[in-house]
Amino acid sequence: MIATGNGSGIRWMCTVAMCLVSLQSTGAQGEEHPRLWELLKKYAQTQDSFKSFIYKADLFQKSNLSFKNWMGRGKGLKGTFTRYQDVEYRYDGDRFRDIHKKWGDLNTYLNRPRAEARRVSFLWDGNFFVTSFGHRAKIMTNKKEAKLVADRMVKTSFGWMNGSISGTGQRVDAFLTKHARKAVVRKEPEIINGAKCYLVEAKTPEGDIKVWFDSLHGFNVAQMEFRRTPKHKVEPVGTLSIVVTIDKFMQINGVWIPIEGQKKAHGQQLNGDHFSRLVTTKRRDILLNPDHDALGSFLIDDIEEGARVSWREGFVPVSVRDTWKDGNVVDKNGRVVLEVSRDRAPSPKAKPPKIDKE
């Protein structure tokens, strides 16, 4: 991401400009037409204005799945599944929290009613990655591994609305800069939802991509298509098609934010496993640049006293039968085996910042 207004931001933009020297921008002579690096710069500036926030969202997901070995469990999964989620996201550019309630078809538990919604919390506090179900919890203590899990979840949870490409783990500007040997800005802008949008097309070893940058709404991604085939030789080998459409933006404190969008994905592997999925998201109650520390956004405060805890240094469990007590993990003898210690409660005087909707 660009850190605007300082030396690192300037160096980053110089790197982008040099990397994109060989990328092509088409347009009639004399016509004012943005170059690719200009589009990416404006897009990045908007994204970097939206990297610390709190917001809630309503999610809907419908999946058609056919897998012979679902998640490596030795059992197949086939059918159409519909899921609903009520989510709250907190993010400061590094630390991350996802608290959600979900109902509907939850894998083998079908038609769970909203009144019995399952509550789950995911937290990366800069030291631990914690998954909490209230009465039980999982803690990952290896910072490197925990950070990787957190970054992956950020991109899959809400990053796709901001231009992260599912299946690559990269934001569109970084993806084009790194992988596009040749990219084209199409001569004629297209109108999407009343806004002039500039279409960029590129073929890369990772997949072929089309991106429409919205000139009316901060050069956010208004639409994106990403396609991968066996010729790209990316594991798992097969086909992957993703289409993202942003249906509505809102300007908050001078920043254009995507607030409604949908993602359609279809994939098929060479072994015949396949899926198709529709995800829709509606964001609400958006706070930009809140005081996360004062609000206690990333405190480990979502585990019930006496909850069963499993914890691991990496992906291999160290213990699966310990207990949560007074903010730490203790064994059956009451000895602290993992010191977590919640630092402090949020300040009672902390208030969310005022939002000016323009």
DSSP one-letter string for 221-252: EEEEEEEE-GGG--SSPEEEEEEEEEEEEEEE
The pLDDT, as a whole number, for residue 314 is 64
Residues in the chain: 358
Distance CA 125, CA 150 (A): 10
**Cα–Cα nearest to 264, from 289, 241, 247:** 241
**Cα–Cα nearest to 91, from 40, 48, 59:** 48
Is CATH 1.10.286 correct for 17-295?
A: no
**Residue 75 has which token pair?**
């059992």
pTM as predicted: 0.81
Sign of CA dihedral 221, 86, 147, 53: positive
Distance CA 321, CA 308 (A): 6
Neighbours of 156 (CB within 10 A): 13
Confirm if 227 and 240 have CB atoms less than 8 A apart: yes
**Residue 175 has which token pair?**
């993806």
**Cα–Cα nearest to 85, from 37, 174, 161, 157:** 157
Distance CA 273, CA 27 (A): 43
**What does DSSP say about strands 328-330 and 317-325: parallel, antiparallel, or unpaired?**
antiparallel
* Angle at the Cα of 99 from the Cα atoms of 354 and 347, rounded to 5 degrees: 50
Distance CA 2, CA 24 (A): 23
C-alpha distances in angstroms, 159 versus 99, 151, 153, 162? 16, 10, 9, 5
Neighbours of 17 (CB within 10 A): 16
Supply the DSSP symbol for 357: B
Supply the DSSP symbol for 116: G
**Cα–Cα nearest to 100, from 79, 124, 117, 80:** 117
**Residue 324 has which token pair?**
């949560």
Q: How far is CA 196 from the centre of its chain?
A: 26
Roughly what angle, to the nearest 10 degrees, separates helices 7-19 and 172-179?
A: 50
Torsion of Cα atoms, 81 then 84 then 88 then 92, to 10°: 30
Return per-residue pLDDT of the chain as tens, 358 residues: 333 344 444 343 444 443 443 444 444 344 567 899 999 999 999 999 888 999 999 999 999 988 887 766 677 888 899 999 999 999 999 999 999 999 998 766 678 899 999 999 999 999 999 999 989 999 999 888 889 888 888 877 778 999 988 777 789 999 999 888 888 999 899 999 999 999 999 998 888 999 999 999 999 999 999 999 888 877 777 899 999 999 999 999 999 999 999 999 999 988 888 999 999 999 999 999 999 999 999 999 989 999 999 988 766 667 778 999 999 999 989 999 888 875 434 433 444 444 444 4
The pLDDT, as a whole number, for residue 230 is 85
**Residue 16 has which token pair?**
């982008």
The pLDDT, as a whole number, for residue 319 is 73
**Residue 233 has which token pair?**
């030789």
Confirm if 35 and 24 have CB atoms less than 8 A apart: no
Distance CA 124, CA 96 (A): 5
Q: Following DSSP, what letter does each residue of 37-100 receive, concatenated?
A: HHHHHHHHHHHHTSSSEEEEEEEEEEEEEEESSGGGSS--EEEEEEEEEEEEEEESSS-EEEEE
3-state secondary structure of 268: strand
The pLDDT, as a whole number, for residue 107 is 64
